[in-house]
Structures are given as structure tokens and as C-alpha cells.
Amino acid sequence: MKVAIIIMSDPKTGGEEALGRLYNGLAVAYEFKQKGDEFTILFQGAGTRWAGEVTREYHPAHALFKEVKDHVAGVSSGCAEVFGATEAAQKNGLELVRGNPLPESRGLPSLHGLMADGYTVLSF
């Protein structure tokens, strides 16, 4: 079983829903890790802003993030640029992913590529 977990919720909303979506996405990743299944995590859209939040030790999802960080493929380069998260992603050692080159963009992760490789895509 292979799954790609895409985190798109926006931490700037300040709402419980955004945190809940992040936490549940990371919880799914943790479960897959415990079962020994293949998975990857990507931050896309406004979710790229989590790169500057979840990496902080005081964040409620920080411990869970640390458990699965080795499976984080990175953040969408184009989205990070749009949502002001490029610097935070780089500072926290997260790769800028560009598998889907778009006109007038630095590129986004290729969901088509993931699906072609047999991944089921889950978005949070």
C-alpha cells in the first residue's frame, strides 16, 4: 500500500479546523509508518505555511511531525512562493518540490506522477 498525504490547510486561519486537518494528516502518516507501509507527505497551497509552524517545538503537532518528518517530500515550490513560505521551508530543511512545471510558476508537486507510481492521494 502506498499513500501520498497532501496537507493543504492554512495555519493562518487560526481555526481549529486547520490544525485538525494537519494533525489528522500527520496521524495517518504515523499509522502508515507504524505499519511499515510506503507513504510520503507534501505541503501544498496555503498548507506550505505549516513549514514555519509545525517545526517549532511549542506547536501542538510538533512531536507528531518529528515522528514522520523523514517521509516529508517537501513543499510545493510555486505555492510556497505565492503564500510566502519559501524562506521558512528552506530554513527548516524542507525541499521545494517542482515535479509539475506550470507556466509562470516555480512548479508544483506532480500528483499525476504520484498516482502513476501507484500512490493513493489523500488531502487534508
**93-110 confidence digits (pLDDT tens):** 999 999 998 888 899 999
Range of the domain at 46: 2-123
Given a contact cutoff of 8 angstroms between Cβ atoms, the answer to whether 115 and 100 are in contact is no
On the question of pLDDT at 29 being above 90, the answer is: yes
| H/E stretch holding 122 | strand 120-123
The whole-angstrom separation of Cα 16 and Cα 79 is 22
CATH code (residue 98): 3.40.1260.10
Mean pLDDT, rounded, for 55-71: 96
The residue assigned the cell 521545494 is 96
On whether the pTM is more than 0.75, the answer is yes
- All three cell numbers of 42: 507534501
Count of beta carbons in the 10 Å neighbourhood of residue 92: 18
Q: How confident is the model at residue 87 (pLDDT cuts 50, 70, 90)?
A: very high
Count of residues making up the chain? 124
On the question of pLDDT at 80 being above 90, the answer is: yes
- Name the burial class of residue 80, with classes exposed (0-12), middle (13-18) and buried (19+) by CB atoms within 10 angstroms of its CB: buried
pLDDT at 103: 86
How many distinct structural domains can be found in the chain? 1
pLDDT at 60: 95
